[in-house]
Amino acid sequence: QEDVFKKIVSHCKEYGFVFPSSEIYDGLGAVYDYGQMGVELKNNIKKYWWDSMTLLHENVVGIDSAIFMHPTIWKASGHVDAFNDPLIDNKDSKKRYRADVLIEEYLAKIDEKIEKEVEKAAKRFGDSFDEKMYRETNPRVLENQQKRDEVHARFAKALNDSNLDDLRQLIVDCEIACPVSGSRNWTEVRQFNLMFATEMGSTAEGAMKVYLRPETAQGIFVNFLNVQKTGRMKVPFGIAQIGKAFRNEIVARQFIFRMREFEQMEMQFFVAPGTELDWFEYWKKERLKWHQALGFGNENYQFHDHDKLAHYANAATDIEFRMPFGFKEVEGIHSRTDFDLSQHEKYSGKKMQYFDPELNSSYVPYVVETSIGVDRMFLSVLTSSYCEEKLEGGEIRVVLKIPAAIAPVKLAVLPLVKKDGLPEKATEIMDALKFSFACQYDEKDSIGRRYRRQDAIGTPYCVTVDHQTLKDNTVTVRDRDTMEQKRVTINEIEKEISFNTDI
Ligand code: ATP
């Protein structure tokens, strides 16, 4: 699986999806650039989200707020004081870790031990193997399970009590039992704020410390009344936003999964107090459906309900997707109570209340939030789409089976040969269709190689113009996934493609 992940990373680079940032200067940690194919796919993902929010829900509208905001906003939201990661350094290896991530790694190691034990037994006993019974009775499995539960319980308690010393002691103990770092010499655990800060205005005038926003949500909260009043919105209603967010992540690994500059698609849904948990359930279902509609297989998604809630939440869950490195969070759904609006009311001194004409009274609405990372979504699309297929002649075909609706290029128009008027005919077809779809024209190399190139960027259809086209105005349309070709008239191409590129 890790191997597949490496292949996807290099495929992204080779075909213009994702490049390391500042590559000619040896890159910049956890920052990436999207290339000519990547930007198209990313835009399509954003459109798929935006349309599902704002077109399919009449009571959801969008905004685009600035990245820079008044610094007091981050004080009010709690980010200045509490948007921290617990850090620990290993004194021997000089490596820095996020304490919580390190403990997750220990837990994963114990899980791995259990699974290996079960696998070994399954092989040994063959058909007569009763897995459930084995898990419940084998002493080694039970011992590891108990160890796991213990680590998990101590971890939860340390987090709950915000006890950094206990967190450190847990790491020391785990490292003895199942080494991850290879060394036992640790510093204290300390809190590290994830926000990037910069200065606004020249120092002569007195510069103001401002932050690059670590989430887009606050831009929605502070505009809540602007939108409600000017849009004459009635609770319940939502405000959606897509935009960049910045976090000085410590453990910046796994390609575009954890970046320092990334993009979020967030929607804050404002509801009457007391109705928030029903709306939370509603959005859980809605969002899962949105993911599943892409057709990557329902078994690749799971909810992870949080037992430990942030101080502002009264319910929270993650939608996790099966990445090559395990089930990981792609989206968070949180019932944030009236925390944010009340905090802004307190810090700004302005009323953040909604007048409910039906109740004839005012209140601070409660909020249910859906927050998804564009880049993590992009990664899940690529990992689900990447296939290597062995063809009859033994050749390996690398194909991205991206759903047609979000594929970067929908249609490639290819003249069979570069002569006899075929390029001219193909260009004519391309010119007629390029207003309807993202099309690409390619006349270089053999037709087989051109098909492979289109497969590698996930183009769902290739139209080939051959000598027969000149006689009867028909072309072949090749389907990326089945590789089957059928002949259609030029007039039918558009209908054929648009029918198949809707989700
Ligand atoms: P994690 O626990 O993985 O750090 P989080 O719980 O801090 O994530 P949220 O604050 O809930 O994440 O952000 C909402 C979404 O934004 C996440 O589900 C994820 O898709 C995306 N996201 C958050 N941090 C990053 C990052 N550093 N790089 C890419 N996407 C991110």
Nearest alpha-carbon partner for 38 in 400, 419, 501: 400
336 lines ligand 1 (CB under 6 A): no
pTM: 0.90
Is the shortest distance between the CB of 214 and ligand 1 below 6 Å?
no
Question: Which token pair is 82?
Answer: 């509490």
331 CA to centre of ligand 1 in angstroms: 8
Taking the CA of residue 259 as reference, the ligand 1 atom at the shortest distance is 28
Ligand 1, atom 20: closest residue by C-alpha: 373
Q: Is the CB of 259 under 6 A from ligand 1?
A: yes
What single letter denotes the amino acid at residue 206?
Answer: G
Provide the residue ranges of all domains of the chain, joining segments of one domain with +.
Answer: 2-67+211-384, 87-193, 409-500
Q: Structure tokens of 416?
A: 């069979």
Tokens of 230: 């000017």
386 C-alpha to ligand 1 centroid (Å): 23
Ligand 1 atom 23: residue of nearest CA: 373
* Cα distance between the two ends of the chain: 29
Question: Of 410, 268, 391, nearest to 334 (Cα)?
Answer: 268
User: CA 422 to CA 488: how far, in whole Å?
Assistant: 17
Q: How far is the CA of 314 from the centre of ligand 1 (A)?
A: 19
Beta strands at 461-465 and 411-415: parallel, antiparallel or unpaired:
parallel
CA distance 282 to 288: 10
Residue 331 CB–ligand 1 contact under 6 Å: yes
Residues whose CB is less than 8 angstroms from the CB of residue 486 and which lie 6 or more positions away in sequence, other chains included:
476, 477
Distance CA 144, CA 135 (A): 11
Report whether 457 contacts 400 (CB < 8 A).
Answer: yes
Asked whether the beta carbons of 356 and 362 are under 8 A apart, the reply is yes
Per the CATH hierarchy, to which homologous superfamily does domain 409-500 belong?
A: Anticodon-binding domain (3.40.50.800)
Contacts of 48 (CB under 8 A, 6+ apart): 405, 406, 503
Question: Is 376 touching ligand 1 by the criterion CB < 6 Å?
Answer: yes
Sheet with strand 84-89: strands edge to edge: 96-98, 84-89, 190-193
Find tokens 């009457």 and name the residue: 272
**Other beta carbons within 10 Å of 72:** 12
* Alpha-helix residue ranges (DSSP H) falling in 273-358: 276-292, 339-348
Helix or strand run (H / E) with residue 80: helix 79-82
Burial code (b: 16+ CB inside 10 Å, e: under 16) for 248-266 equals bbbbeebbbbbbbbbbbbb
Identify whether the C-beta of residue 102 lies closer than 8 Å to the C-beta of residue 171: yes
212: DSSP letter: B
Q: Tell whether the torsion through CA atoms of 242, 271, 308 and 136 is positive or negative.
A: negative
320 lines ligand 1 (CB under 6 A): no
Q: Which residues pair with 191 in a beta bridge?
A: 86
Separation CA 41–CA 308 (nearest Å): 35
For residue 184, give both structure tokens: 């036992």
**Among 245, 268, 372, 399, CA closest to 318:** 372
Query: Which CATH homologous superfamily contains domain 2-67+211-384?
Result: Bira Bifunctional Protein; Domain 2 (3.30.930.10)
* 264 CB near ligand 1 (under 6 Å): yes
Number of residues in the chain: 503
Q: Give the residues across from 318 on adjacent strands.
A: 304, 332
Q: pLDDT (tens digit, 0 to 9) for every residue of the chain, 503 residues total? A: 669 999 999 999 999 999 999 999 999 999 999 999 999 999 999 999 999 999 999 999 999 999 999 999 999 999 999 999 999 999 988 888 999 989 988 998 999 999 999 999 999 999 999 999 999 999 999 999 999 999 999 998 998 888 999 999 999 999 887 777 777 889 999 999 999 999 998 766 678 999 999 999 999 999 999 999 999 999 999 999 999 999 999 876 789 999 999 999 999 999 999 999 999 999 999 999 999 999 999 999 999 999 878 888 999 999 999 999 899 999 999 999 999 999 999 999 999 999 999 999 999 999 999 999 999 999 999 999 999 999 988 999 999 999 999 999 999 999 999 999 999 999 999 999 999 989 999 999 999 999 999 999 999 999 999 999 999 999 999 999 999 999 999 999 998 887 677 66
Q: Which of 49, 212, 251, 329 to mutate to test the pocket of ligand 1 (most atoms within 8 A of CB)?
A: 329
Q: How would you classify the pairing of strands 315-323 and 84-89? A: unpaired
Cβ–ligand 1 contact at 262 (below 6 Å): yes
Ligand 1 touching residue 371 (CB < 6 A)? yes
Does this chain's domain 2-67+211-384 share its CATH topology with 409-500?
no
